[in-house]
Structure 1
C-alpha cells in the first residue's frame, strides 16, 4: 500500500497539527505503508519517509497559502490514497482516494482572528476565490473533522458533514503530573499571539485575585509586551513563561489547581486534555470545541469564568479523577485505530 501524507510544513513544533502528523507517520510505519511526505518547504524534522517539496527553502509567512500550494508537490505522487492534514480539500481525488483531516475553515462563522480584523480579512480574500473548487473536492473526498464544532463549520462552508475523529493527545507525560491537591493558581497555555486571547487570562487574574501562569511559544513579542503592561495596569498576579521546556511545563501542571482556556472559536484545544490528565479542572469557552470535552466547566463570559475559577480551586478529588479518566479517551492509540479503520474501509 502506498500513501502520500500531505502537510504544508513539517516543523519541530508542539502544535496539535504537528502531533497529528507525527502520530499518523508512526501509524504508517507500524502498518508498513510505503509513504511519501508532500510539503510546501523542506521538513525541519525527519519523519522517516522521503519527501517532495514545492520550494527548496524554509518560508514562515503566508501559512494559509503554503497549504494551497502543497497541491503541486502532492500531485507529483501516485499513491493509493492521500492523507491530507492541511485542512483544505485540495483537488486530489482525481489521482487517488483522498482523506482530508480538517478543522473549522477560516471563512466560517467560527470566531477567529480572520473575522475580527480588516487586515486578516484582506489576507484571506484571494483564498475565497478557490472556494468553489474546495466545495467540489470536499464532496468527492472523505472529510474528517477534529471535533463536532469543526464538523459544523465544515458543513457550513463546504456543504458536507464530516465524520468526527478527535485528535491524538500526548497525555502520558501529563498523567505523571496527576495530583488531587494543588497550589492556589491557574495555568493558561497558548502561543503568544493576539488570536489566542491570552489577555483574558490577565483580566481573569485581576478580577479574582488568583495567580495565573501563562505558558506558550513566543510568536509575537509585541503582544507579549502588551500583556505585561496590561498585567501591571490591572494589578494582576500573572507570571509569563514563554518558550518553556516540556519538563518544566509538566512540573507546573503537577502543582496547579485549575486550567483556564481563553480562546473562543478554538477547534479543539489540546492543552485542555493535557490539563485533565494532570488533575486540573479545565475552564473553557462555550464557543469552542472544548465545550464538547467538559460542558459542565464552560463559560460564556469572564464573570462566569471567574466564579467557576473560585469555586474549583479546591475541587474534590473525585472530580479530578473523573476528568483524568475522560482524558484517556484521547490517547494516540485510539486515534490510530480509528484512522486505520477508515483507511482499511476504502
Structure 2
C-alpha cells in the first residue's frame, strides 16, 4: 500500500515536468527565423508603444530577412490594423506589416487580477503569459519592450536570444530603503500599509526578495537598452550586467514638431498637458497649480487656457477624466480649461503648435517623451524635478535655459506665471534653445544607437 502511494506521488510530480520538457523540445524544433516583440498591450498610445513600433521598423530595416512578430493580447489586432496604428498614432511607417500572435491569458499581468501582492502576481503572471506565447511561436530573437523581465528565463529555456528595452525598472532602489512602490503603483498603495510601521518593514523584505529575483532574471538578457541615465543606474545596480546595458534615448517625434513656427499668438496664452489620463500623470496637481495662476492674474487681461490632451483606454480612466472636469468646476476654472480625449496625432501637433508652455508632473518619470515634444514644438517645458527630466532633459543649451523644473503646486504656478509674463523675445530665445536640445532625442538618433546595440546580438548569433 505504501509502495503504491509512493509510486503514485512520483508519477504526479514527474508527469508535469515531462510534459514541460516535451513541449519545450517540440517547440524548439519548430523555431522560426524571426524576432518576436513581447508587447501584450498594443493600444496604450504611450511612449512604450512608440518604442515598440520604432523598434519593429529598425529591425525591418536592419534585417529584412527576419520575420517581425508581435505578441499581443489585443483581440482586434491584425498586421493591417497595427501597421495603420503605427502611422496614425505615432507617425511610424513600417516597411511591411508585422505578423501577429494573439495571447488570450493577458489578464494574468493585469493589476486588477491581484488585489494583494500585485507586483509579484504580475511578475509570475508574465511567466505564464510568455509560456502561451512560446507555445504558439518560438523565434530566434525574443524582444521584450514592455518591462517583463521575468519572461527572460522562459525565452532562454526555449533557446531564444533575449533583447529588451527598459522604460521603468520593476523594482527601484527606493523600494528597498523605504518600501515605496514604483511610481505607477504608489497612487494605489493600501493606506494601512503605508501608515503602519510593521507592514512597511515586511514590505521592504518583500521588495528585497523581489529585487534579488529581478536581478537574476534580468541578468539573462543578452543585451539591455535603457531609456535614461536614471533607469541605467537602477538597472546596473540590480541586474549587474553593465557591459550589456546601454542607454538609448527613446524616439521622440521631433522632425514634424520642429517645423512648427516658434512665433505664435499668446492672446490668450495656451498651456498644454499631453498625457494619458492615468493617476501617475498627476493631472490634479497641474489643475490646482493652474487655479493659483488664474487667481494671481488681473482679470482685465486675457486669461490663459489650460488644455488637457490625453487618452482614455478603460472605464477607470474615463472616471478619472470626469473627476478632473468636476474638480475644475470646484476650483472655478472650468471656463479656462479644455479637455481633449483620444485625439489623432495630427490634432495633437496642432495643439502643441499653439501652446507657449507644456506641463509634466509625473514623479520619477523614467524619461519623459512629452517633455521633448514640448521642446521640439516650441512650448516651454515645465517638468517634475526628478528622474529623467532632471538628469537628462531639462538643462541648458549653449548656456540658455530650456525650461523649468518644479515639484510642488506653488512651484508649478510660479513657473507658469514666469512663462506668461515673459517678454516675447526672451520666450523665443528659450524656445529656440529648447528646440535645439530636443534634437538630442530625435528618432534619427534613436535608430542609429538602437541599430548599433541590436547588431551586437544579431552579428554574434551569425558567427
- TM (norm. structure 2) is 0.66
How big is the shift at 1:261?
Answer: 0.6
Query: Are 2:199 and 1:199 equivalent residues in the alignment?
Result: no
Query: Are 2:309 and 1:228 equivalent residues in the alignment?
Result: no
How big is the shift at 1:43?
Answer: 6.6
SS across alignment from 1:289: helix
Decide which of 424, 435, 440 is 1:329's aligned counterpart: 440
Distance in 2, matches of 1:149 and 1:319, equals 25
Decide which of 318, 330, 334 is 2:429's aligned counterpart: 318
Query: Are 2:146 and 1:86 equivalent residues in the alignment?
Result: yes
Query: Are 2:67 and 1:35 equivalent residues in the alignment?
Result: yes
Unpaired segments of 5 or more residues in structure 1?
A: none
Decide which of 42, 48, 69 is 1:17's aligned counterpart: 48
Which residue of the partner structure matches residue 136 of structure 1?
Answer: 216
Which residue of the partner structure matches residue 13 of structure 2?
Answer: none
How big is the shift at 1:53?
Answer: 3.4
Distance in 2, matches of 1:86 and 1:307, equals 36
Give aligned pairs, total. Answer: 343
How big is the shift at 1:129?
Answer: 7.6
Distance in 2, matches of 1:26 and 1:37, equals 12
SS across alignment from 2:387: coil
* Bigger share in helix: 2
1:42-121 equivalence runs, <5 A: 44-46=77-79, 47=83, 48-55=97-104, 62=110, 64=122, 67-76=126-135, 77-89=137-149, 90-91=152-153, 92-94=155-157, 95-108=159-172, 109=174, 112-118=183-189
Tell me whether 7-16 or 134-143 shows the greater mean CA deviation.
7-16
SS across alignment from 2:146: coil
SS across alignment from 2:67: strand
SS across alignment from 1:105: coil
Which residue of the partner structure matches residue 369 of structure 2?
Answer: 270
Q: 2:214·2:238 contact (CA, 8 Å) conserved in 1? A: no
Q: 1:28·1:35 contact (CA, 8 Å) conserved in 2? A: no
How big is the shift at 1:282?
Answer: 0.4
Query: Are 2:250 and 1:167 equivalent residues in the alignment?
Result: yes
How big is the shift at 1:172?
Answer: 2.7
Q: 2:260·2:353 contact (CA, 8 Å) conserved in 1? A: yes
SS across alignment from 1:316: helix
Bigger Rg, structure 1 or 2: 2
Query: Are 2:440 and 1:341 equivalent residues in the alignment?
Result: no
Q: 1:26 to 1:151 in 2, by over 3 A?
A: same
Tell me whether 17-26 or 315-324 shows the greater mean CA deviation.
315-324
